[in-house]
Amino acid sequence: MLDLACGTGLNFALLEPAIGPTGAIVGTDYSSGMLARAAHRVAQHGWSNVRLLQADARTLTTEQIALPHGRLHRVLCTLGLSVMPEWESVFQRTFEMLEPGGRYAAKDLYIDQGVGY
């Protein structure tokens, strides 16, 4: 499973039971500071099946993720796409990494700066 723009790793606790002891989570983020906090969280919980990768999502490849079968089963992106430059191409790139029947879940928000409240 790919947790794209994983930040501090808050999703990992929810993902762990879902992937089981034989599954793996690859958490990627552009920010080394966020990944340092995620690494601390992983160490605190003793999760041996979580790997962290500092990467620019715009150029992320399956080789960087080091997928055993070359494709992802799942992709999760929580509040990450809206802060990425070229988010549409990031979505397309990571969507294409899915195996047939794989699932992609994204939760985000967009605030139109042109609307006056």
Contact assessment for residue 104 and residue 93, using Cβ atoms and an 8 Å cutoff: no
Residues contacting residue 23 through CB under 8 Å, at least 6 positions apart: 1, 49
Q: How much is the average pLDDT of 70-85? A: 93
pLDDT of the residue at 115? 64
pLDDT of the residue at 11? 97
pLDDT of the residue at 95? 96
Domain regions of the chain by residue span: 2-21+43-107
Q: Which helix (H) or strand (E) holds 33?
A: helix 32-45
Name which of 69, 77, 71, 24 is nearest 47 in CA terms.
24
Q: From the CB of residue 8, how many other CB atoms can be counted at a distance below 10 Å?
A: 18
What does pTM read for this prediction?
Answer: 0.91
Q: How much is the average pLDDT of 73-86? A: 94
Residues 49, 54, 58, 61: what is their CA dihedral angle, to the nearest 10 degrees?
Answer: -50
pLDDT at 117 over 60: no
pLDDT at 9 over 90: yes
